[in-house]
Chain A
């Protein structure tokens, strides 16, 4: 399972990356904003993109919409703070697969990631 993390804070990029790597998941990249996330998603072909809602430049919601309609075989997981209910709902409606509350706990992150299921049959289940 290849994962891309987009958050404007180095703190959370590191934090979530550590969690995922501890669980043996592969973090293929970290992005600082929506634009970077989309570029990196095209290039690195992750299975999951974790998107923070609040980012400067292109925010998480816009990035989620673009990624979901891009045709790339991937899951979008929103990283939402309390009070972003409407944004998350909109993202889910646009095709995002799940959301994680911020700050995330290891349990919650792994639970969400592991229950994502295949995307259009291209999930790397063999690995």
Chain B
């Protein structure tokens, strides 16, 4: 029995209907009694019911059927509008249906007790007497089907395929390895006289590059995958707080690498939760302040070539910088430096651990991650975070992130017995110098003195005084070098330079983001983890000494 084919079709259609149901219920809540939406919802439930019946998922079918009855009741008794209570029950049921679909997908048993929900649904339906009476007496035959193998006739399956996310990580890893092998081959070909070899290596290189581009593209997911659950989250928190909030989402079609998107989930929810809990005021307070009672939270994604900017803006009360300064003082920050801060700098205080204003305005938040973790995640992904806020008008949080996962050309260097990566793009030259030459804080390069820092020292590693006569200094650019100005260089003393590789660099995630001087991690072919050196941070250190 080829049930897997039907199962994947079942799941694909069921998930579509479930997200249609969620959208419909949230719309219905805002505009109760809108017939077109009730009809649409009814059709979704009806379809899910039919699908469940065909697959023999009895519990799921029963739950869907009870919901369909309620919707039908609403439809028949046109005068009755869907009450808040009904929508809440239906949303709860929706969560259970989602859970069931998830379990089916994972081949787990659907042993969820649905009786309490059925009871509540039936009560709601019973309330709509007229509708209930009309539908009395239907008997639903259970006829789970036993699909048999198809006759081999051309069956068109959906061209969309579900693949576990980690497969894509492995693909990217392997591409990195391929690129490394390729550079070895290129070196060999360069030494060889065989023109055929050169040509083959050239075309292999082109193919691998195309493969890499394809894999990077296949990893992209729309921003929508992250935002689709937001309306529900906003609805749930704002109802609990008695606030009225409209959520606007823009740029849901912008695509990002799944590893980046995945990690942005918690931060985004945290920021929005903050906005609902602390940003947007109660309707009365807003009225008094001359604002519309309905607060707005806008989530926006804008693509900028290789980068993406994600903004969350609310029209709430804004962040009170004075309060932040007080809080900073109360946890023992020196008064001088706190007073010297501009408002903009003071706003960033909110990203310090323990400095969230959460507790001081209301007590609702404090769940999940804090703004400090949000900043860590964004920076760990190679992005940046900015906060703008005007008291009384609102707050805007801007996160700028890379869009694609990166395979970086890196230089593998050894320092005090450990391996590290240095991004090749930042390397100016690798010098082999006499040992005495690296004892100072500067080194001569192209007839000028440039700062020199020993990587081992910078990273706080025990410096094994090598036996070799010569030292290796990697001359690197201080910044990414897009400023167009004369670029600052500095020398990085390492024990040895062993190889140039193409590595799939994964971003560091908290708590690893707290590590000083490194910005990403990759796993070598033999399983060893290697950190990517954060040259900008190391460069800061040279300035301190200069």
| Chain A interface residues (CB < 8 Å from chain B) | 8-12, 14-15, 17-18, 21-22, 24, 27, 54, 56, 81-83, 101-106
Contacts and interface: CB of A to CB of B under 8 A. Distances in A.
Contacts of A54: 43, 46-47
A24 B139 CA distance: 33
B148 A83 contact: no
A83 B135 contact: yes
Counting from the closest, the 7 A-B pairs by CB-CB distance are A103-B54, A21-B153, A11-B9, A18-B150, A22-B151, A103-B53, A21-B151
9 contacts: A10-B9, A10-B158, A15-B147, A17-B155, A82-B141, A83-B138, A101-B143, A102-B54, A103-B54
A82 to B, nearest CB: 5
B41 interface: no
A10 to B, nearest CB: 6
B50 A10 contact: no
B147 A82 contact: no
A81 to B, nearest CB: 6
Nearest to B52: A103
B63 to A, nearest CB: 16
A15 B148 CA distance: 10
Interface in B36-76: 43, 46-47, 49-51, 53-54
A52 B158 CA distance: 21
Given A10-B12, A102-B53, 7 more contacts: A10-B158, A14-B9, A15-B6, A15-B145, A21-B150, A22-B150, A104-B145
Interface of B: 5-6, 9-10, 12-13, 43, 46-47, 49-51, 53-54, 135, 138-141, 143, 145, 147-151, 153, 155, 158
Contacts of A10: 9, 12-13, 158
A120 to B, nearest CB: 28
Contacts of B143: 101, 103, 105
A56 B147 CA distance: 27
In this complex, the member of B49, B149, B153, B158 whose beta carbon has the largest number of chain A beta carbons within 10 angstroms is: B153
Nearest to A101: B141
Contacts of B51: 9, 11
Contact of B145 (A17, A27, A82, A105): A105
Contact of A9 (B13, B141, B150, B153): B13
Given A9-B51, A11-B6, A11-B9, A18 B141 contact: no
B156 to A, nearest CB: 8
Contacts of A12: 50, 54
Given A83-B135, A105-B143, A11 B150 contact: no
B10 A11 contact: yes
B148 A14 contact: no
A104 B144 CA distance: 9
Contact of B138 (A82, A103, A105): A82
A103 B145 contact: yes
A31 B153 CA distance: 18
A15 B509 CA distance: 45
B3 to A, nearest CB: 11
A29 to B, nearest CB: 12
